[in-house]
Amino acid sequence: MMTHFRASHLHQFEASGKPFLYLQSAAIFALDDASQAILKLLDAGSRTREDIQGMLGTHLSAAELDEGMDELLRVQAIVPVNEAPKPIPKVIPLEPFPLTTMVMNVTNQCNLACTYCYEYGEDKIVDTTNGKQPKFMSEETAKQSVDFMFREAGPNKVVHMTLFGGETLLNFPVLKIAIPYARQRASEVGKRVEFNLTTNATLLSPEIIDFLIENDVAVTISIDGPQDLQDKFRVFHSGAGSYDVAMPKIKELLRRHRAKPIGARVTLTKQTLDVQRIFKHLTEEIGFREVGFAPVTTSPGQEYAIEDGGFDKMLGQFRGLAHEFLECAVENRHHAFANVKDTLEEIHKGASKAYPCGAGLGLMGVATDGQVALCHRFAGSDDHALGTVTEGIDRERQNDFLDRHHVENKTECRTCWARPLCAGGCYHEAHTRYGTTEGPNLHYCDWIREWTDICLRIYGEIAERNPTYLARFEGRVTNEASQTN
């Protein structure tokens, strides 16, 4: 019987008028006439070598077609139909996996009462009001957390310490102890520590800004954009909007703290989907150097949840910003749209993920009482705990978590070409939506595929028009801290 071949779960895209191929291995190849013609035929249905020779033989030589077939087979762009697909080996990372980023929830309290908050809103996991966790992390726990971080960093020379809340600055006294202590410990153990702090900016004071500058702390500001959008959800407990309080402080921080890029992190909701207006406001009027967007995490049916039409609108605006980014990249100019930059880096390196993110692996969150969880979004949740800062990581629990969450378990993802980059998406998002961290986020599959396609096209264009630009992504370890939200 003659072997029939078919295309594997790949994605073809066009950039600068040329055809490209994105494979399950996360490799990107440019196609020539022969390989493109073969794939086009196999896309429409399975064929034998003889069929292909017969259909394309008038334009292309038999030798070229044979070679093209062989190459496509070798990179696994095409596969024999009667062969069972090779399972991707389920490799659980070797332990102890070194910690890259520790996110420290120095408090679970907040001076704002943003309606959509995953820590306080309807979808919260941990009772932060009457729960067992102290409202503020103690000095002692903070120091123990720092010790834990260096202990678990293993051979890593650089560790990232992300200070988080609640509203992080509500516990400024502990920051003043923890940061110098981490610096001191770093020099004792011969490592470097990088700090990142997330805040809503309402409590920034000249003293705090001085401290952030002196300690070289990178800052991420949670902000939703112009006043009408910011004040819709980001409100004080009284219901009053926070724009007027936050903005002058943000401007002061941006004016004085020049050594580290200050990023804005925007939560998008059904009512605040004006991505381009938000972006223009935060970059041109306020002066942020990086702006990243994330759709709100929510269970279905919340009034701020983005629905299908909203995703299309969001995508259209992302596409616009991504093209602005491209024009800048071609001329080696900076553009502040962080979402596309982060994805381009992963595309360039060819990340093929067994897990959607570093949670429970290279990234962990520490709750106010020193309990260690998958990430900051699960801090304080006993169901998602992996140990404590004093006793260390429970390797059995961690292994069990990694075993249960490997992308190979997500059967829905098996035939998806975007799997190498997505791997099922955020655990917290899945937990909020479906009540379990184990499944993929099926509600945004289409959106992820379309967004990945946009980024692949942008990548292809840059690779054609200004390939030297991509060198900036090489040899750099992705800083998970900068993506914390």
Partner 1 sequence: MKHLKPINQKADRVQQYLESKTKPGDVVALQQTDAQVPLGCSFVFFPGWEVDIEGGTAGLCSPVERDLFDCHLGCFWPAQVPDQLNHAPDWTAACSSAQKDWRKIDLIFP
Point out which residues bind partner 1 (CB under 8 A): 20-21, 25-32, 34-35, 64, 67-68, 71-72, 74-75, 77, 347-352, 459-460, 463, 474
Question: Shortest Cβ distance from residue 33 to partner 1 (Å)?
Answer: 8
Burial of 76 (0-12, 13-18, 19+ CB in 10 A): middle
Q: What one-character DSSP code corresponds to residue 200?
A: -
Nearer to partner 1 by Cβ, of 22 and 164: the residue is 22
Question: Shortest Cβ distance from residue 353 to partner 1 (Å)?
Answer: 12
Question: Shortest Cβ distance from residue 190 to partner 1 (Å)?
Answer: 30
Question: Shortest Cβ distance from residue 88 to partner 1 (Å)?
Answer: 15
Q: What one-character DSSP code corresponds to residue 265?
A: E
Nearer to partner 1 by Cβ, of 421 and 448: the residue is 421
CA distance 417 to 180: 46
Pick the closest to residue 469 from 455, 479, 459 (CA basis): 459
**DSSP characters over 392-431:** EE-HHHHHHHHHHH-GGG-GGGTT-TTHHHHTT--HHHHH
Beta-bridged to residue 236, according to DSSP, are 112
Going through 45-199 in order, the beta strands assigned E by DSSP cover: 47-48, 78-80, 101-105, 158-164, 192-199
161 near 182, Cβ under 8 Å?
yes
Nearer to partner 1 by Cβ, of 29 and 236: the residue is 29
List the structure tokens of 74.
């070798």
Q: What are phi and psi of 81, to 5 degrees?
A: -65, -40
314 near 335, Cβ under 8 Å?
no
**CB neighbours (10 Å) of residue 25?**
15
Q: Is residue 243 helix, strand or coil?
A: helix
Q: Is residue 297 helix, strand or coil?
A: coil
Nearer to partner 1 by Cβ, of 155 and 475: the residue is 475
Q: What one-character DSSP code corresponds to residue 302?
A: -
CA distance 147 to 391: 11
Nearer to partner 1 by Cβ, of 91 and 240: the residue is 91
Beta-bridged to residue 265, according to DSSP, are 222, 292
List the structure tokens of 55.
């259909």
Question: Shortest Cβ distance from residue 27 to partner 1 (Å)?
Answer: 4
Nearer to partner 1 by Cβ, of 32 and 285: the residue is 32
Question: Shortest Cβ distance from residue 327 to partner 1 (Å)?
Answer: 20
Nearer to partner 1 by Cβ, of 33 and 303: the residue is 33
Question: Shortest Cβ distance from residue 86 to partner 1 (Å)?
Answer: 13
Nearer to partner 1 by Cβ, of 43 and 383: the residue is 43
Q: What one-character DSSP code corresponds to residue 59?
A: T
Q: 103: which residues sit within 8 A by CB, 6+ positions away?
A: 162, 164, 363, 364, 365, 366, 375, 376, 379, 481, 484
Question: Shortest Cβ distance from residue 38 to partner 1 (Å)?
Answer: 9
CA distance 110 to 236: 9
Question: Shortest Cβ distance from residue 410 to partner 1 (Å)?
Answer: 21
Question: Shortest Cβ distance from residue 70 to partner 1 (Å)?
Answer: 9
Paired sense of beta strands 158-164 and 192-199, if any = parallel
Nearer to partner 1 by Cβ, of 69 and 99: the residue is 69
Beta-bridged to residue 52, according to DSSP, are none
Question: Shortest Cβ distance from residue 72 to partner 1 (Å)?
Answer: 7
